[in-house]
Chain A
Amino acid sequence: MQRKITIKALTLVFLLISFVSYASEDTQKGDLKTEIKAYIQHHLEDSYDFSLTSYTNDQGEKVYWGFPLPVILWDNGLKVFSSSKFHHGKTVAEVDGNFYKVYHTKIYKTDAEGTINYDAEKHPTNAKPLDFSITKNVVVIFLVGLLMFLLFRGLASSYSKNNGIAKGAGRIFEPIILYIRDDIAIPNIGEKKYRKYMPYLLTVFFFVWFINMLGLTPLGVNVTNSISVTVALALITFLITNFTGTKDYWKHIFDPLGDTMPWYAKIPLYIILIPIEVLGIFIKPFSLLIRLYANIKAGHIVMMSLIGLMFIFKSWLGSPLSFGLAFAISLIELLVALLQAYIFTMLSALYFGFAAEEHDHHEEAHAH
């Protein structure tokens, strides 16, 4: 019992360190509130190096813990160099006579001094090379992919080796896989067709769940905070839905009333109905991507702000308050990480169900 409590307390401390460690990054000295805002902004952004934490040493220099990542640019030829050349965004990197500078997490081409020109709206006018860099988010996505491959490959092969009984670390996920099959895929897609959608549903569920959970660890990663990741996920759902759509699915969109009316009566209705249905094709994946992105981002902002309270209060009251609130929100975030993965999978399965539907025309005639 004692040991369990100790383990739980340690886990909690680790969870909180992840956010506190980000709050120790340096920014321009200003008033405290803008500084905390800058920390939160920094935490929500992708970066070119994987920095875990930083501290100021005795000589007053910043020391960063972490490792640089490769920067890959296409600017009249392939340019590959280490992100350590940027020195955490402070210096200009020189590659083959070209100069690059990081400005607001984007790489711009500059002159030797790193001058950035602005237009009237304060947007930089410098040229932007095509950026294929392996950023922090990309590294995490690769790692989660590798982890999932090893885990589920091991689980799958253990069935054949062990007479149909799961073995190994992947075993704890077996009930979840069965749950996705029996309670998400089959009721929504149907007994006949669910099999071909299962690989995607399982992949997207575990991918989103693992990545959301990693966002709560001391690594300080936040992949699903980045809208491009959720756009990519929703785009895959969109493509699968529409490429596996049956004749009935498209008929439902372009001829929803079917034979219930003569054609001349349908025309005025269809002027309104068809645009709405077509718009619906795009709104479905759009709501998926916004939901995942906004939920995770909102959770991270709330968590960071609560930890920021500690620095604002600066009294014996502030720390326990901030700690307690952050603890409560951490627990909710653990639930949200799972819930968002579940909802994404569930709604994807629902959309696939629409796409795979095939009306039994005899039964429909009875229903009307």
Chain B
Amino acid sequence: MEIPVMVGAGLVVIGVGIGIGKIGGSAMEAIARQPESYGKIQTAMLIAAALIEGIGFAALFAV
């Protein structure tokens, strides 16, 4: 039986969601611990989130 491509894309999006969620959560913890390095943490968070997001879009375009 063939699994539809959309199911695969959905799984990838779930993974991407978990990944970005973890990045956001960790960034918040880090900011709470060290509020003075807010700017640096935010930048690193955005870069990591953007890179993961790229994978999500790649999966969506495969559909």
- Where the two chains meet, the residues of A that have a C-beta atom closer than 8 Å to any C-beta of B are 183, 187, 287, 290-291, 294-295, 298, 339, 342-343, 346-347, 350
Q: Known contacts being A183-B39, A291-B53, is A346 close to B47, with CB within 8 Å?
A: yes
Chain B residue numbers with a CB within 8 Å of A347 are: 47, 50
Question: Would A290 and B57 count as touching, CB distance under 8 A?
Answer: yes
Chain B residues near A350 (CB-CB < 8 A) = 47
Chain A contacts for B51, CB-based, 8 A: 287
Residues A346 and B43 in contact, CB atoms below 8 Å apart: yes
Tell me the number of A-to-B contacts counted with CB atoms below 8 Å.
30
Q: Nearest residue in A to B42 (C-beta to C-beta)? A: A183
Interface of A, helix, strand, loop or mixed by DSSP: helix
* A137–B54 CA distance with the chains assembled, in angstroms: 25
**Given A343-B50, A347-B50: A291 and B43 interface contact (C-beta under 8 Å):** no
| CB atoms of A342 and B57 under 8 A apart | no
Cβ A294 vs Cβ B61 within 8 A? yes
Task: Please give, as numbers and ranges, the residues of chain B lying within 8 Å of A346 by CB-CB distance.
Answer: 43, 46-47
22 A-B pairs with CB atoms under 8 Å apart are A183-B39, A183-B43, A187-B43, A287-B54, A290-B57, A290-B58, A290-B61, A291-B50, A291-B53, A291-B54, A291-B57, A294-B60, A295-B53, A295-B57, A339-B46, A342-B46, A343-B46, A343-B47, A343-B50, A346-B43, A346-B47, A347-B47
| A343: B residues at CB distance < 8 A | 46-47, 50
Whose C-beta in chain A lies nearest to the C-beta of B53?
Answer: A291
* Residue in chain A with minimal CB distance to B57: A294
**Closest residue to A183 on the B side, CB-wise?**
B39
Q: How far is the CA of A154 from the CA of B57 in the complex (A)?
A: 39
Query: Ordered nearest first, which 9 A-B pairs have the shortest CB separation?
Result: A294-B57, A287-B54, A343-B50, A291-B54, A290-B57, A290-B54, A291-B50, A343-B46, A291-B53
Which of chain A's residues have a CB closer than 8 A to the CB of B46?
A: 339, 342-343, 346
Interface size class on chain B is 10 to 19
Q: CA A245 – CA B47 in complex, angstroms?
A: 22
- In Å, the complex CA distance between A183 and B39 comes to 9
- Inter-chain CA distance A153–B50, complex, in Å, is 32
Residues of chain A within 8 A of B61, CB atoms compared: 290, 294
State in angstroms the CA–CA spacing of A200 and B55 once bound together: 26
Q: How far is the CB of A147 from chain B (nearest CB, A)?
A: 27
Which residue in chain B gives the minimum CB-CB distance to A294?
B57
Known contacts A291-B57, A298-B60, A339-B46, then 18 further A-B pairs from the complex at CB < 8 Å, ordered by chain A residue: A183-B43, A187-B43, A287-B51, A290-B57, A290-B58, A290-B61, A291-B50, A291-B53, A294-B57, A294-B60, A342-B46, A343-B47, A343-B50, A346-B43, A346-B46, A346-B47, A347-B47, A350-B47
CB distance from A3 to the nearest CB of B (A): 35
Complex CA distance for A221 and B16, rounded to whole angstroms: 30
- Alpha-carbon distance A343/B57, docked complex (angstroms): 15
B9-52 CB contacts (< 8 Å) to partner A: 39, 43, 46-47, 50-51
Measured CA separation A294–B61 after assembly (Å): 9
Cα A295 to Cα B51 in complex, Å, equals: 13
